Amino acid sequence: MPKSLLIVESPTKAKTLQKYLGDDIQVISSKGHIKDLPKNELGVDLEREFAPKYVTILGKAKVIQELKKAAAGIPEIYLGPDPDREGEAIAWHIAEVLGEKNHRFHRVLLLELTPKAIKAALAAPVALNRPRYDSQQARRILDRLVGYQISPLLWQKVKTGLSAGRVQSVALRLVCDRERAIMAFVPEEYWTLDACLDADAPPPFSAYLYKHKNKNIKPGSVVAVEKILDALDTAEFRVAKIDTKPQKRHPAPPFITSSLQMEANRKLRFPPKKTMSLAQRLYEGKDLGDEGPVGLITYMRSDSTRVSAEALDAVRTFIDQTYGGKYLPAAPNRFKSPKGAQEAHEAIRPTGLTRRPQDVKAHLSKDELALYELIWRRFVASQMTPAVVDLTTVDIAASDYLFRATASVLKFAGFTKVYQESRETEETAGPVKFPPLAAGDVLQLRDFDPQQHFTKPPARFTEASLIKELEVQGIGRPSTYATILTNLQDRLYVVKEKTALKPTEMGLVVSDLLVENFPNIMDPKFTAGLEDDLDRVAEGKVPWQQLMRDFYGSFAQHLDAAKTGMRKVKSIPTGLTCPECAGELVVRWGKNGEFVGCAAYPKCGFTGDFFRDARGQISLTGLEPVAPSSPGEAPGTAPVVRGKPVATGLTCPKCGKELLLRRGRLGEFLGCSGYPKCKFTQNFTRDPQGQVVPQDPEADAAYSCPREGCGGHLTKRRSRRGIFYGCSNYPKCAFTMNQPPQERACPQCQHPWLMKKGKKIICPRDECSFEETAAAGDE
């Protein structure tokens, strides 16, 4: 019989630990939480200091029996769930079900799954942390009170099945407020003026209009530009000043949870939920063949940039030996952690630098490898020397105007040899090289290039930029961001258009109703303050019941008022006229999403799809030309409506009958009018005049499926999220990609086509590692 028992929350983690610990300690898993608040009731006693009513999670009774059986006769019980608030709650609930009568419980904080770290954690266990458990419990109860008491109001006032969340709803407000700012934005015209210039030697270069009489200038109209051009008609262009300065670019800190989610979204296009799932697998252990299960990264829910002294020594030695002394700073780089970070944790880093991405490639999935390489490179780069860039600025005088040109030259790669951090908006590259220039040189004007521009509205949030905004405003915690973004999209409050998050009509309505009736809950500052209060509970500074009392008083008042005062919004007026009965069209919600329907329903059954433009105006989509009813009359349009196929004049290639434009739950398609006898269907596109053009079914047949032995070919398909390319052998083969294939062979394995993924061109074959940076304009 083993001398002691270690209980963790994950079977994979248990397998990795058992490999290192041998037979002296038995390792078993609770398979996640074993207790929670009940699903079919509030589960919080408002009359008894918000006492929670925990119940055994469905299916976990058997797990509890297994835990009790394993713990029988073993006095020393080590509890090793994740080292955060959720892990603390799991540990407390396990201790409660096992009981203290015959056991002594020790809390083990496993920050990385390596032999040395595991032994160190077991040698120095800590007591169960009551304040941290209370903080998790308070957060769970707050979320339950908000969600379970506001959601039924939304069911009554808007639509059954809607939900509200303490943090989720504030994140929704941020997205909706940004959308309204975009709708209200009024673009302003402005112009830029570039001068293309020649020196005595090539190459020619461009300089932009910078100042007039020592004041910054931005022409607001073509008239202003023409006035400037007239003034410069006979002007001499002379180099006034040349200034070259070295600039240092410092490496970014190693990842914390929020920065990992943001960077994986920008570089790899991974949703936050996927990033955290992959990171969990890398932390808990991957089977590396002869080595067995190995934890490849440190704990992935961390808000600290701290790195242990041992890890710093290892990475500095690695940099010196691999890249040379000039890439190693004299002292380790230190980074400031965010406010309130748990410094007991480390940054997210590889557990062993000798396990390079290429060394573990054979044991990881494509996505696991991509994320591991991202973490590995970021950590190594974080301890390297800065990059040095020479920034040259040339000022050119012309009459009383000043033009400026800039160029940068990388003098020393530094950390960029290993890794470069991505940005939400890519910087525009300036000229790469100037000709030989000196102050006083006279330049020859080749031409002017005036360009009209308009100011742009604020950009919609992406998943990465929304996480950044939540972090900046202190809303939620990094460990909750993935769940927040997933819920917003699963509830259809927000949809993703390419990478941008756009609120649906439902999302806008729900946000407005909650702001009107629960101003505190929807106030970002109030929500951030509540997060700070929860941190104080975790530090043992505030009793959790006191936090609940302070919160619930005003919340209960708003709740009572909303029960009678909240507006009913079962539909939204559009200002559009029904083409069938001339009644008003309204936006409604069905099981397949939003649509426009006639307000006279059920007398009039017209329905159709719609879109809202950048100014917030609603229009019908799927408009087909209608023949004029009399000579000389302009063609009109009629909407493609749900349930009402539209004639196309096209012939079914299978049976010869007419093809109709139909709409299914995944969008529009062509279908035979002879259905159900003829089941022919076909995708289509539209020409510049809006006419329906059938998609050639053989158009993509030349692109063979890259999966070994599949034998299928790519076909163009539609989903509710847009067009994608999938294998013709689906469902036997599930290969898909979002971008059209690149018409050139892989230079490494000669596969006949390549694919675009994010900002890279890669080979679609899993067996091939070819990749290159996509050139601007690659489609």
Active-site annotation, residues: 299
Question: Which of 642, 660, 637 is closest to 593 using CA atoms?
Answer: 642
CA separation (Å) from 18 to 5, 282, 364?
Answer: 11, 17, 21
Residue pair 284/9 in contact (Cβ under 8 Å)? The answer is no
Greatest Cα-to-Cα distance within the chain, rounded to the nearest angstrom: 99
- The torsion angle over the Cα atoms of residues 170, 176, 181 and 187, rounded to 10 degrees, is 140
Q: What three-state secondary structure class fits 741?
A: coil
DSSP code at position 691: -
Residue pair 539/343 in contact (Cβ under 8 Å)? The answer is no
The dihedral of CA 173, 179, 182, 183: what is its sign?
negative
- The torsion angle over the Cα atoms of residues 581, 585, 586 and 588, rounded to 10 degrees, is 60
Instruction: State how far the Cα of 727 lies from the Cα of 745, in Å rounded to an integer.
Output: 19
Q: What three-state secondary structure class fits 204?
A: coil
Side-chain half-sphere CA neighbours of 677 within 13 A: 7
CA separation (Å) from 369 to 79, 280, 297, 616?
Answer: 30, 13, 12, 42
Question: Which of 17, 256, 240 is closest to 121 using CA atoms?
Answer: 17
Question: Which of 771, 666, 774 is closest to 726 using CA atoms?
Answer: 666
Instruction: State how far the Cα of 598 lies from the Cα of 577, in Å rounded to an integer.
Output: 8
Tokens standing for residue 123: 């040698």
Letter for the amino acid at 344?
A
- The torsion angle over the Cα atoms of residues 108, 114, 117 and 121, rounded to 10 degrees, is 20
Residue pair 268/262 in contact (Cβ under 8 Å)? The answer is no
Phi, psi dihedral angles at 612 (to 5 degrees): -110, 125
Instruction: State how far the Cα of 273 lies from the Cα of 278, in Å rounded to an integer.
Output: 9
b/e map 34-57, b = 16+ CB within 10 Å = bbbbeeeebbbeeeeebebebeeb
Instruction: State how far the Cα of 112 lies from the Cα of 120, in Å rounded to an integer.
Output: 11
The dihedral of CA 320, 321, 322, 325: what is its sign?
positive
Residue pair 583/598 in contact (Cβ under 8 Å)? The answer is yes
Q: What distance lies between CA 185 and its chain's CA centroid?
A: 25
Instruction: State how far the Cα of 542 lies from the Cα of 622, in Å rounded to an integer.
Output: 58
Residue pair 353/322 in contact (Cβ under 8 Å)? The answer is no
Other residues' Cβ atoms within 10 Å of the Cβ of residue 256:
25
Kindly state the helix (H) or strand (E) to which residue 440 belongs, with its residue range: none
Instruction: State how far the Cα of 246 lies from the Cα of 391, in Å rounded to an integer.
Output: 6
Tell the burial category of 510 from Cβ atoms under 10 Å away from its Cβ (0-12, 13-18, 19+): buried
Tokens standing for residue 368: 């696991």
Residue pair 17/11 in contact (Cβ under 8 Å)? The answer is no
Residue pair 446/196 in contact (Cβ under 8 Å)? The answer is yes
Beta bridge partners of 294: 286
Q: What three-state secondary structure class fits 284?
A: helix
First-last CA distance in the chain: 63
Question: Which of 231, 700, 262 is closest to 478 using CA atoms?
Answer: 262
